[in-house]
Every structure is written in C-alpha cells, then in structure tokens.
Amino acid sequence: MKVAIVLAAVAAVLVLGKTASAITLDHVKARGFVLCGVSGGLPGFSEQDEHGNWSGIDVDICRAVAAAMFGEPGKVKYIPLSAAERFEALGSGEIDVLSRNTTWTLSRDAGGLEFAAVTFYDGQAFMVHKDLGVESVTELDGAAICVTEGTTSEINLDDYFNANGMTYSPKKYRPYEKVIDAYTAGVCDVMTADKSALHAHRTKLEDPDAHIILPTDISREPLGPVVCQSRCEDARDDRWIAVIRWTLYAMLEAEARGVSSSNVDEMRKTSKDRGIQRLLGGEGELGENLHLPNDWAYNVIKLVGNYAEVYDRNLGPGTPLKIPRGKNALWKDGGIQYPMPFL
C-alpha cells in the first residue's frame, strides 16, 4: 500500500513518456534555454518575487546549468509545479529537468526517473504551535498531524509512528499549501514535511516565533535535480544528466579548492594547482567530455558561484531561514557533500 503511493506519483512518467527526441542535450542547445520545473513558492528553494524574478537553491541549479551550456545563467524558463504535477510534467517533456525539492527514492529511481546528484541533504521533521509546550517527537502520541497526501512525508510519518508504538490522527491534504492552511487554522496540532520546507514556511506565518520545529529528523531526504530516463519512451540521454550532475559537482569542487565567484579570474590566471586548472578549463579537455566549452565550470562559478555561495545566498545565516550547513557541509568540514574527482 505504501509503495503504491509512490508508484502512483511516478505512473504518469511511465504512461506518457517523452515525445521529444532522445538527445535532450542537443534539443536544449538548439532551443537556447533550459526548461526547469520548480516549486511555485518555497522560500530558499524556488520562489518568484513581485517583479517576476526567481530565486532559491533549486533555481540556482538551473541557472548554473544554463551558465555551463550557454555562458548565460538567465537562459532558463521556470515552470512552477505542484508535487502532484511534477512527474507528469517531466514525463511529458514539458520540462527538461525537475529541480524542485524532490527526494531520491528507490521507487522513483526504478520507476523511470534518474537523479543527477544531491543538492541538499534534508530530513523530515515536525512543526508545532509553541504554546503546546511540546519539545520532543515522543510527546506527539495521539496528536492530529497535517501532512501532504501522496508524498514520501505521508509514508515516513506512518512508518515512524508504527515503529515507535505511537498513534496519531492524520489530516491529509493536497497540495502542500492546504497543509499549511489547515495547520494555521488549528485543524491539527502539528504539521510534518521536510525540515527545509518547515523552515521556509515558518517565515511566512504571521508570528514565526509562535511556532517551533522539533529537533528530531525521522527520515533521510536527499533532494536533487531529476530527469526522465530509462523507462521514459525515447528519453535516454546520458549526456544531459552528466551536464546537470557535473555542474553541481563543479560548485562543490570549487568550494573545496577555495575558488569563488570573486577570485575565479585570478585563480584561472595565476594558480599553479593543476586540479584548479582542470576545473577552470586551463588544462585538459573535460569540457569536451561533456560536449560543452572547456570553460563551462569557470562560467558556472563566475556567474552563479560555488556551493557555499549558493547555499549562503539562499539558506544561510544571512537569510530568514538561517539553516545551518550541517550535513550539507563539505566532507572535510564534517558534512557529507562530496564532489566526484575532476580527472
């Protein structure tokens, strides 16, 4: 039953397939811009302001892909999608890549989707009204909990309470915005979602300080960009997913080597570090391997930034979300973000 929920969410991918040619990378190049599926309004991840400008870490992934391909991060068209719409849009070819706080799971991976990499390591958590005096997840036995129907959050919630011998009253809504409305109206004592989403939406509440996010994560939620692959008709294109994957790795590699948007020009001119020169296109032909110009990673870093810059700009201590790097720190700093070798 639980697996069926996830498989149903992916079913549209299998049925519709892609009508475009298999060579996605060539089509994107010919079109001249990337079609990027995002959330309609999740602060820090993907959000549009009153002037129509998009921002967020998921948005910056698509900007970085555009910078790698065209040398211009603005060559992206953003398609806002609900959780229920996202996989159908990917399978039908409405978008080239889904960069919308989507969790990498076995059912999705085996069901025709392919995740390029992990942009953000997250975990499911709970937000409660502060005046309830709740400080731990273990105190939620018997609580009314609002959750988005048909998502991994619904499955994780049921698994956790069953495993710990606890009961709860589920209040299921779709889309996610209805979960927030129900929680705000007092229909439920608690709402559950990815911790990042809870941080984002708490900033939109009338009195954010009246709500607390409990410290315990009940799941692993690796979020990242997705393409439609092996089981989508005419959709197999390893070159396209490689561009997306290595764009993220370029930002991580740049942070690890101390290369940023502010010093990348100097590094390219003066650095004797062969690893830096390979990354920035001064040595080797890594761009050719991706069917991109050899300065593709230079453009990503110069025009969008390294991973730390992107994280701090959207989620870090200078933003309303103030989400600590935690698991999303580099491996050498105690986190688990780890770029593959640029060789």
Rg of the chain over CA atoms, in angstroms? 20
Q: What does the DSSP assignment read for 137-156?
A: GGGGTTEEEEEETTSHHHHH
Cα–Cα nearest to 229, from 62, 6, 13, 68: 13
Per-residue pLDDT of the chain (343 residues; tens, 9 = 90+): 444 444 444 444 444 444 444 478 999 999 999 999 999 889 999 999 999 999 999 999 999 999 999 999 999 999 999 988 999 999 888 999 999 999 999 999 988 899 999 999 999 999 999 999 999 999 999 999 999 998 889 999 999 999 999 999 999 998 888 999 999 999 999 999 999 999 999 998 999 999 999 999 999 999 999 998 754 554 557 899 999 999 999 999 999 999 999 999 999 999 999 999 999 999 999 999 999 999 999 999 999 999 999 999 999 999 999 999 999 999 999 999 999 999 9
Nearest-angstrom CA–CA distance, 206 and 195: 19
| DSSP H or E stretch at residue 29 | helix 24-31
Nearest-angstrom CA–CA distance, 66 and 32: 9
Nearest-angstrom CA–CA distance, 297 and 38: 23
What are the Cα distances from residue 154, in Å, to 112, 145, 164, 174? 22, 10, 16, 11
Nearest-angstrom CA–CA distance, 73 and 66: 5
Q: Which residue has the tokens 């010093």?
A: 263
Fill in the amino acid letter for 295.
Answer: D
Contact between residue 165 and residue 89 where contact means Cβ atoms under 8 Å apart: no
pLDDT at 218: 96
Fill in the amino acid letter for 321.
Answer: L
- Copy the structure tokens of residue 95: 């978008």
Domains of the chain: 2-121+223-333 (3.40.190.10), 124-219 (3.40.190.10)
Q: What does the DSSP assignment read for 182-228?
A: HHHTTS-SEEEEEHHHHHHHHTTSS-GGGEEE-S---S-EEE--EEE
Sorted by sequence, the CB contacts under 8 Å of residue 105 that are 6+ apart come out as 6, 152
- Looking from the CA of 103 toward its CB, the CA atoms found within 13 Å total 24
The β-bridge partners of 173 are: 148
- Copy the structure tokens of residue 237: 């294109």
Nearest-angstrom CA–CA distance, 104 and 225: 9
Helix (H, G, I), strand (E, B) or coil at 287: helix
| DSSP H or E stretch at residue 34 | strand 34-38
Contact between residue 233 and residue 12 where contact means Cβ atoms under 8 Å apart: no
pLDDT at 43: 93
